[in-house]
Structure 1
Amino acid sequence: MSKNPPTFSKPKKPNYLSTTNACKLCKPLGACLAFKGIEGAVPYLHGSQGCATYMRRYIISHYNEPIDIASSSLSEKHAVYGGGPNLKLGLTNVAEKYRPEIIGIATTCLTETIGDDVGMYLHQFAENTKGSVGLPTFVNVSTPSYGGTHMEGFHAAIREVVAQLSEGGPRNDTVNILPGFVSSADYRLLHEILGDFGLDYTLLPDLSETMDGPALLEYEEIQSGGTPIEKIKAMGRAKATIECGGTLGAMKSGGDVLREKFSVPQSQIGMPIGIRETDIFFNLLEELSGRPTPEKYVKQRGRLIDAYVDGHKYISGKRAVIYGEEDLVVGMASFLTEIGIHPVLCASGGTSGKLKKAIAAVTGDTLAEQPQVFEDVDFYDINEMAEQLEIDLVVGHSKGFPLAKKLNIPLIRVGFPIHDRVGGQRILHLGYAGAQQLFDTVTNRLIEKKQNDSPVGYFYM
């Protein structure tokens, strides 16, 4: 192993923009997933039909669940004359066919470029349909695909849902939980944890059922589950908000809106991945509930520490590249560092400007040498750097498979999208239970690599 690994600087931007295999997805895709976490919601793209088709296919491949995304189906003509009439007709059709409680409208490149004023169109639609019975609630968000990432679209949608639906009034005893974009299994785990603390809470969004439901005899046009609209309206009266995400400071978040508009106290923490970050989350829950951590989680934490000790000899000193959504990268860097693996490169297609500081906050007191951290990079950049770093594993979503295959090292699949395995929606990342699953996966993959590379193999650790 090289004692002096190469140090990289991000290549200077040319006078044109070129991306090779992006390490991010588009903003309206993230917004659609956020809307799917609301009860009775239909995501609606104001743009061309191709955008909705692409996003449906991409999301279905990860979740293995059906998802309908409506579209205003704009063509070349509407790029000249505007998409207002198509938007209004599409909303009418969706309202009649699906009978949704809410339609979440996100814009695409086309409508942002031509300057369609969706807010004005919705006002006109409301005037034209005044007195009609059974119309859904509308929420709209600006998500130009040519700028930002799917995570920015996700958080922008949550912000607008809160800003446009939440109401003030006398304080209630609920806690708002804004966990960010995690797996359906993670949302289910959060329900379990919050219930065990005896908290009255609102989880927004909630993809625990809408994107990972049971087999049914009859097809549901709108999947059951999601955060009820009435609970979203009451979020402005909550006693506190816990918001997960160490890189959210670059944009106004849902928690910021609740604090500024309704004076709801806000605690912004990192994603609770690994012991360190989960301890912070559980300490907050103790304060808000007035209860100690339930014994079952104390035992989970103890078993996790025991597992760290048992497996340390197999993973200590290994070197990893982490990539993906910024807050997931931060959480995984914290987790890998505490189990003895050195993240040498942390990369994301995001552009918050907060990634390096957030990584340092969770690794600075443990690592003698900080990881190299890069934002706004694609897989061409990541591959070039990773090939020179003598790494032992790659951590991220399925798009890193070509790199892992080329270097003949394990790929630990986390986050979104997972397109080359089943069960991406069931990968557990959060809490002590998530850390236990991640630890076992990482350790066993490294043992398997050593076993496969051995000329004679072995049957006993």
Structure 2
Amino acid sequence: MTPSRSHKTTPSYTPTQNACKMCTPLGATLVFQGIEGCVPLLHGSQGCSTYMRRYLISHFKEPVDIASSNFTEETAVFGGGANLKLAIENVARQYSPEMIGIATTCLSETIGDDVPLILNSMGNAIDGTALVHVSTPSYTGTHVDGFHGAVAAVVDRFNPAGKKIVYRPKKKKKINLFPGMLSNEDLRHLKDVFADFHVPVTILPDYSERLEGPSWQEYQAIQKGGTPVSAIEKMNVAVHSMELGSVLGLMAEKGTQTAGTILSKRFGIPCTRLPIPIGVKATDRFLDALSQISGRPVPERYKKEKWRLVDAYVDGNKYVSKKRALIYGEEDFVVSMAGFLAEVGIIPVICASGGKSKTFNQALEAILPETLIDQIVIQNDMDFTCMEETAAGMPENLRPQIIIGNSKGYAMARRLKIPLVRVGFPIHDRVGGSRILHIGYKGAQQLFDNIVNTILTARQTESRVGYSYM
């Protein structure tokens, strides 16, 4: 008699298809581009560097140089320490940068290269160039995780524990601002806001000029612009720090080390954490917080902008009321955009992100009215294939009527035959992606106009006769 065999059930596995995120080192590279005189260096294969350059160049339409330690098969087996040292020496000699930002890729992380030990052996500097390392294996996070990790690493490097505070200028009341991954136009707008409040600010990172500068008369090895290292070194004498991002704030509360927590623990600098200021309510909170921190009233121009925006909400309400939207992108961006849509009357029926911070749901619940939460499908660690299947499988009266997100969702929007409003990062198939203003009353005004006009265009296109008046 043949003995019976026990059969093991293999659990089903669904691979990620067209992930709603990008590689962790990409976010770190963007941060390094926002520091004056800095050259990013990826410790890994040359293909990783090429991939990052492709994404950044396509979105910003500017030249982007990213050095590489150029792993080979031999390096992958025996370690990349020698390659990293040689790459650092070459970059220091050819570019004479103030700083080299070193991000590790999946390959160097997997084989276990001890990058901090390698940099310590070099004194964490070479020929006057500071060396800053951030660990960014893509299998543990997203490009936003790499972004925040790099900001924290830079602050940690230039504001070490035990650093003597020579002075803290109370009169100037300088503020540190960690805005997160925003557009060039968003960063420029933030600088205008602080200037209108007459409050000195150090923004980290600030790639708004370096990744959108004038045409060159002659080649520049390192583009001008970025937060000066000298300003980063003085972040420990600021009177306050501000970090933007609901998810980031919740992660900080749960113990994640951010730039704000580093400065708070080491130097006693209080840190205010707020959602990205998209829409009336979020912008109110941001301006009120800045007014309280600085001791200055909100400038009159912003009050006028607010009421012009509220008037536009009223004018356009009949076109957007109870419309349904699918939003995707970085977690903090989706949370703030969902809050904006809710206040104008649009229901964000699907809120999706490739992130998996475990605080995405909590952040959405905190920013949205209770009456909307039960109507929303929240998806994290998501790819576009699953997102599309979710939208397509909804009943007709619940399906999204508009999609809001970056260019990576274009194919999905095309197949679903739902109009796409391009916002966030990356935007590859349009010009001006880096010049989209999302934040503040002015940003909300532009977003609102764009969304309403997209809905109207769809209605005109679908109409059998068309119409010329609203």
2:155 equivalent to 1:158: no
Q: 1:167-199, CA deviations, whole angstroms, 9 ceiling, x for partnerless residues?
A: 551333210100000001100000100110010
Structure 1 pair 14–264 and aligned structure 2 pair: CA distance change class (3 A): farther
Whole-angstrom distance in 2 between the partners of 1:324 and 1:181: 11
Whole-angstrom distance in 2 between the partners of 1:226 and 1:368: 40
Which of the residues 146, 163, 176 maps onto 2:139? 146
Equivalent residue number for residue 58 of structure 1 = 55
Equivalent residue number for residue 3 of structure 1 = none
Structure 1 pair 302–168 and aligned structure 2 pair: CA distance change class (3 A): farther
Verify the 8 A CA contact 1:451 1:458 in the aligned structure 2: yes
Structure 1 pair 158–168 and aligned structure 2 pair: CA distance change class (3 A): farther
Which residue identity lines up with residue 254 of structure 1 in the other structure? A
Which residue identity lines up with residue 95 of structure 1 in the other structure? A
Mapping for residues 158-237 of structure 1, pairs under 5 Å: 158-166=151-159, 167=163, 169=165, 170-172=167-169, 173-237=173-237
Whole-angstrom distance in 2 between the partners of 1:214 and 1:144: 34
Equivalent residue number for residue 385 of structure 1 = 390
Q: 1:105-149, CA deviations, whole angstroms, 9 ceiling, x for partnerless residues?
A: 00001110110011111122239x8xx7x4311100100122210
Q: 1:14-37, CA deviations, whole angstroms, 9 ceiling, x for partnerless residues?
A: 565721000001110110001111
2:21 equivalent to 1:28: no
For the residue of structure 2 that corresponds to 1:66, the secondary structure is: coil
Mapping for residues 396-407 of structure 1, pairs under 5 Å: 396-407=405-416
Verify the 8 A CA contact 1:168 1:237 in the aligned structure 2: no
Structure 1 pair 330–368 and aligned structure 2 pair: CA distance change class (3 A): closer
Whole-angstrom distance in 1 between the partners of 2:13 and 2:390: 22
Whole-angstrom distance in 2 between the partners of 1:168 and 1:358: 37
Equivalent residue number for residue 3 of structure 2 = none
How far the C-alpha of 1:364 sits from its partner, in A, is 2.1
Whole-angstrom distance in 1 between the partners of 2:13 and 2:153: 33
Verify the 8 A CA contact 1:364 1:370 in the aligned structure 2: no
Which residue identity lines up with residue 121 of structure 2 in the other structure? Q
Which residue identity lines up with residue 368 of structure 2 in the other structure? T
Verify the 8 A CA contact 1:333 1:363 in the aligned structure 2: yes
Equivalent residue number for residue 445 of structure 1 = 454
Verify the 8 A CA contact 1:34 1:154 in the aligned structure 2: yes
Which residue identity lines up with residue 154 of structure 1 in the other structure? F
Q: Among the aligned pairs, what percent are the same residue? A: 52
Which of the residues 109, 113, 117 maps onto 2:114? 117
For the residue of structure 2 that corresponds to 1:53, the secondary structure is: helix
2:323 equivalent to 1:314: no
Whole-angstrom distance in 1 between the partners of 2:11 and 2:313: 45
2:443 equivalent to 1:434: yes
How far the C-alpha of 1:387 sits from its partner, in A, is 1.0
Verify the 8 A CA contact 2:365 2:373 in the aligned structure 1: no
2:74 equivalent to 1:69: no
How far the C-alpha of 1:422 sits from its partner, in A, is 0.8
Which of the residues 337, 342, 348 maps onto 2:342? 337
How far the C-alpha of 1:366 sits from its partner, in A, is 6.0
Whole-angstrom distance in 1 between the partners of 2:145 and 2:14: 20
Whole-angstrom distance in 2 between the partners of 1:260 and 1:379: 40
2:303 equivalent to 1:303: no
Q: 1:369-411, CA deviations, whole angstroms, 9 ceiling, x for partnerless residues?
A: 4422111111111011011332110011111111211222210
Which of the residues 318, 324, 328 maps onto 2:329? 324
**Which ranges in structure 2 are unaligned for 5 or more consecutive residues?**
1-9
Structure 1 pair 452–287 and aligned structure 2 pair: CA distance change class (3 A): same
Whole-angstrom distance in 1 between the partners of 2:42 and 2:218: 26
Verify the 8 A CA contact 1:323 1:395 in the aligned structure 2: yes
Verify the 8 A CA contact 1:245 1:270 in the aligned structure 2: yes
Whole-angstrom distance in 2 between the partners of 1:57 and 1:318: 36
Mapping for residues 252-263 of structure 1, pairs under 5 Å: 252-263=257-268
How far the C-alpha of 1:219 sits from its partner, in A, is 2.2
2:141 equivalent to 1:136: no
Mapping for residues 355-434 of structure 1, pairs under 5 Å: 355-365=360-370, 367=372, 369-389=374-394, 390-434=399-443
Mapping for residues 7-46 of structure 1, pairs under 5 Å: 14=11, 18-46=15-43
Q: 1:293-349, CA deviations, whole angstroms, 9 ceiling, x for partnerless residues?
A: 111111111110010001111111100011110000001101111111000110111
Whole-angstrom distance in 2 between the partners of 1:138 and 1:75: 23
Equivalent residue number for residue 353 of structure 2 = 348
Verify the 8 A CA contact 1:46 1:108 in the aligned structure 2: yes
Which residue identity lines up with residue 326 of structure 1 in the other structure? E
Equivalent residue number for residue 107 of structure 1 = 104
Whole-angstrom distance in 2 between the partners of 1:155 and 1:74: 26
Equivalent residue number for residue 7 of structure 2 = none
Q: 1:153-173, CA deviations, whole angstroms, 9 ceiling, x for partnerless residues?
A: 000000110111125513332
Which residue identity lines up with residue 195 of structure 2 in the other structure? G
Equivalent residue number for residue 271 of structure 1 = 276
Which residue identity lines up with residue 34 of structure 2 in the other structure? G
Scaled by the length of structure 1, the TM-score of the pair is 0.94
Aligned-pair Cα RMSD in Å:
1.5
Whole-angstrom distance in 2 between the partners of 1:88 and 1:192: 41
Structure 1 pair 346–267 and aligned structure 2 pair: CA distance change class (3 A): same
Scaled by the length of structure 2, the TM-score of the pair is 0.92
